[in-house]
Amino acid sequence: EDKVVQSPLSLVVHEGDTVTLNCSYEVTNFRSLLWYKQEKKAPTFLFMLTSSGIEKKSGRLSSILDKKELFSILNITATQTGDSAIYLCAVENTGNQFYFGTGTSLTVIP
Amino acid sequence: SAVISQKPSRDICQRGTSLTIQCQVDSQVTMMFWYRQQPGQSLTLIATANQGSEATYESGFVIDKFPISRPNLTFSTLTVSNMSPEDSSIYLCSVAYGQEVSGAFFGQGTRLTVV
């Protein structure tokens, strides 16, 4: 059965901390792995990863994919209260099906 | 990425009534999906909206309860029928470009409360 597992389920940190969010997957016919940030309703797109070992970076956020070990990490450095959100990981297969993890709820305390 | 307009943004409805949610995309997309996100949970796929034909429903979701239309490549509607408080949820429209471009993008979501 295809699945995506995220860990931890929730995380509370202080401003300035660095966090690492994990996403492992078992999806046949992998096409891409996607990270989203969900604050209120709609998930907003962060990164799409298709190749192993190539880090994608956007400001304080970065992500990397390991297709051999079937996982990805999302790093957030120097966290701010505005980073508080649910972070969703999804995997797309070549049939354009998307599998979502349960998300990691991040709370950043001032 | 596509600009996706979803409306209404939120609604409070009486049980037994129906609500239709609209999703409009500013460009032609291959795939359109409808998700439900119940409080504290991740996204659950309701169905894939197929242009010009019946939607493909996931296990646990039926057309009578969640009729879906997709008359063209840029527009879809999801109706939540005969609502009960258990239908209170966020409903999300999502689009993808299929084989052309990887990834999925979301509308703003509809927060539905059934009283």
Give residue-wise pLDDT tens across range A82-97.
Answer: 999 999 999 999 988 8
Residue of B11, B33, B37 for testing the chain A interface, max A β-carbons within 10 Å: B37
**Other beta carbons within 10 Å of B53:** 8
pLDDT (0 to 100) of residue B8: 96
Interface of B with A in 19-78 (CB under 8 A): 30-31, 33, 41-43, 45
Q: Which residues of B touch A96 (CB under 8 A)?
A: 30-31, 96, 98-99
User: What SS3 string covers B27-70?
Assistant: CCCCEEEEEEECCCCCCEEEEEECCCCCCEECCCCCCCCCCEEE
Phi, psi of B43 (to 5 degrees): -75, 140
Q: What pLDDT, in 10s, does the model give residues B23-54?
A: 999 999 888 999 999 987 889 999 999 888 89
Phi, psi of A82 (to 5 degrees): -70, -10
Which residue numbers in chain A have pLDDT < 50?
Answer: none
How far, in Å, CA of B100 to CA of A9, rounded?
A: 33
Q: What is the mean pLDDT of chain B?
A: 93
Name the band, by pLDDT with cuts 50, 70 and 90, for residue B10.
very high
Give the three-class secondary structure for A3: strand
- Exposed/middle/buried for A35, CB within 10 Å: 0-12, 13-18, 19+? buried
